[in-house]
Amino acid sequence: MSHLKQILEKGEFAVTAECGPPKGADSEIVLRKGDLLRDKVDAVNVTDNQTAIVRMSSLAACTLLRGAGLDPVLQMVVRDRNRIALQSDILGASALGIGNLLCLSGDHQSFGNQPQTVGVFDLDSIQLLQTVKAMRDEGTILGGDRLSARPDLFIGAAANPFADPLEFRVTRLAKKIRAGADFIQTQCIYNLDRFKTWISTAVDRGLPEKVYILGGVTPLKSPGMARYMKNRVSGMDIPDEIVKRMEGVPKEKQREEGIRICVETILRLKEMPGVSGVHIMAIEWEEAVGEIVERAGLLPRPGF
Partner 1 sequence: MITAEQKPIDEIREMIGPFKRILVLGCASCVAECAAGGEKETAMLGSALRMAAKMEKKEVVIEEKTLDRQCVNEFIVLLDDTIDQYDAVLSLGCGAGVQAVADMFPETPVIPALNTEFLGETKAQGLWMENCLGCGDCMLYYFGGVCPLARCSKQLFNGPCGGSVDGRCEINPEMDCAWQLIIDRLSRFNALDRLEDIYPPKDWSRKQGSGPRKIVREDQQR
Residues 6+ apart with CB under 8 A from 178: none
Q: Could you give the CA distance from residue 303 to residue 140 in angstroms, rounded to a whole number? A: 34
The candidate with the shortest Cα–Cα distance to 132, out of 185, 173, 184, 91, is 91
Determine which residue in the list 69, 137, 168, 248 makes contact with partner 1, applying CB under 8 A: 168
298 Rama class: left (phi>0) / alpha (psi -120 to 50) / beta: alpha
Neighbours of 165 (CB within 10 A): 8
11 Rama class: left (phi>0) / alpha (psi -120 to 50) / beta: left
Q: Is 197 in the site for partner 1 (CB under 8 A)?
A: no
Determine which residue in the list 1, 39, 117, 124 makes contact with partner 1, applying CB under 8 A: 124
Q: Is 175 in the site for partner 1 (CB under 8 A)?
A: yes
Query: Which letter does DSSP use for residue 55 in this model?
Result: -
Stretch that binds partner 1, among 9-17, 28-36, 172-180, 197-205 (CB under 8 A): 172-180
Neighbours of 28 (CB within 10 A): 9
Determine which residue in the list 14, 74, 76, 123 makes contact with partner 1, applying CB under 8 A: 123
Q: Which is nearer to partner 1, 123 or 217 (CB)?
A: 123
Q: Is 142 in the site for partner 1 (CB under 8 A)?
A: yes
Per-residue interface string for the shown chain with partner 1, residues 233-272, x marking contact by CB under 8 A: -xx-------------------------------------
Query: Which residues would be at the binding site for partner 1 (CB under 8 A)?
Result: 79, 83, 105-106, 108, 110-111, 119, 121-127, 130-131, 142, 158-160, 163-165, 168, 171-172, 174-175, 178-179, 187, 234-235
